[in-house]
Homo-oligomer: A and B are copies of this chain.
Amino acid sequence: MGRDVPSLFFIGISLFFSQFCLAMSKNVTIKDIAAEAGVSIALVSFVMNNRVEADGKMKYRVNDATRERVIEVAKRLNYMPNSAARILRKGKSKVLGLIVSDISNVFYGEIARNLETLAFEQGYTMLFASSDESPEKFRQIVLSFLEKGVEGFIVVPCTGTLKVLQQVLNVGVPCVVLDRKNERFPAPMIVLDNVGAMRSAVEILLKKGLKKIEMISYTIRATSITGREEGFISRMREQGISDEQIRIHRLPFDDIDSSTDLVIPSIVGRGVEGIVFATNALAIASIRKLSSMGVRIQKDIYLVGFDNSDVYDLFYPPIPHVGQPIDKICSLAFSYLQKLIDKEIEQTTKIVYISGEVFD
């Protein structure tokens, strides 16, 4: 195996910042270097790709003097390897694809941030895109990423994307799923124990002695959402609440604000004591509406948030919430993907449940 990041990359860096950086001729290739150094292009390639193998030997044996000369010329000419050629030749792009529903959502932003760092450390770069929970857009993104030759996908799928993802696997590109699950899809899926997490969220309100508790959720039927609803329902039932009394308000993903304007006054009007939210975006929109109505958070009405958000700690007392350990989720997801790419494991259904973190 040897090191995964070829020394080429580091040579690249030093070359690039070489003190000899002249007005550079547009595209310097190994051919130019070969000519200048008076060697063959193969030798230049050897020099650029040389590295220590697992057994401690060098991959290619190159004369020290010639190696120095080649490197010197490469620096002087400001050589930069052409990745398209390398990809074409080797079939490896060192690019991964990340698809979330909305990169501007803090939760996914943090996901992106964590994955990006991990990827960078391993010499990968990341293509990213937001699906907006639209299967059609998701499909188009997958396709364009595939055309770009990504070596692997990390995705937050939306409903109606099973077929596309199956295709991804068919063309031999590995895939890891985040935040959603589907028993019929053969991939590692890193998901929160949504049922348990929402039960914990409800528990927080129950412990305060509150009775009239309602939930605000999405209309979308992503497994993360339905799991949280299931947790809410099961815990409320255990509390002896009849099914007719258990209320879940479902708002459209793409138009939270105006639907919040309708739902919140109705909730307040009915004298609800506590609200649990399926996501941070829902909590934020609701808090905004509540504030504007003059309802005092955690006094007139108790809230419990979901996911992590700066917002929860902005109040006093802070709004309790059940968060996701994003770093753990990401490092797990990334290590699965890497093992998949390296063919150390098979692409099979494997649902990994992560416990929510209760902040109370």
Show the binding face of A for B, using Cβ within 8 Å. 9, 12-13, 16-17, 21, 23-24, 26, 80-85, 87-88, 93-95, 102-106, 109-110, 112-113, 116-117, 120, 123, 125-130, 139-141, 143-149, 163-164, 167, 170-172, 284, 287-288, 291-292, 294, 310-311, 313-316, 318
- In Å, the complex CA distance between A87 and B148 comes to 9
Given A84-B93, A84-B149, verify A13-B314 contact (CB < 8 Å).
no
How far is the CB of A358 from the nearest CB of chain B, in Å? 19
Pairs A-B, 7 closest by C-beta atoms:
A84-B87, A104-B113, A84-B88, A104-B109, A109-B109, A291-B316, A83-B147
- In Å, the complex CA distance between A103 and B119 comes to 14
A316: nearest chain-B partner, CB-CB: B291
A310: nearest chain-B partner, CB-CB: B284
**A103→B113 contact, CB < 8 A:** yes
How far is the CB of A23 from the nearest CB of chain B, in Å? 7
A136: nearest chain-B partner, CB-CB: B13
How far is the CB of A354 from the nearest CB of chain B, in Å? 19
**B109→A13 contact, CB < 8 A:** no
- The one of B84, B146, B314 that contacts A314, using a Cβ cutoff of 8 Å: B314
**A167→B21 contact, CB < 8 A:** yes
A147: nearest chain-B partner, CB-CB: B83
- In Å, the complex CA distance between A279 and B106 comes to 16
**A116→B88 contact, CB < 8 A:** no
The complex is assembled from copies of this chain, and their number is 2
**A147→B81 contact, CB < 8 A:** yes
Chain B residues with Cβ under 8 A from A110's Cβ?
A: 104
How far is the CB of A273 from the nearest CB of chain B, in Å? 20
**B139→A13 contact, CB < 8 A:** yes
**A149→B83 contact, CB < 8 A:** yes
Chain B residues with Cβ under 8 A from A163's Cβ?
A: 17
**B130→A128 contact, CB < 8 A:** no
A114: nearest chain-B partner, CB-CB: B104
- In Å, the complex CA distance between A13 and B167 comes to 12
Chain B residues with Cβ under 8 A from A149's Cβ?
A: 82-84
Chain B residues with Cβ under 8 A from A23's Cβ?
A: 170
17 contacts between A and B (CB under 8 A): A9-B147, A13-B139, A13-B143, A21-B170, A24-B171, A26-B171, A80-B147, A83-B149, A84-B87, A84-B88, A94-B148, A103-B116, A104-B110, A109-B109, A116-B130, A125-B145, A126-B127
A281: nearest chain-B partner, CB-CB: B310
A111: nearest chain-B partner, CB-CB: B104
Chain B residues with Cβ under 8 A from A284's Cβ?
A: 310, 314
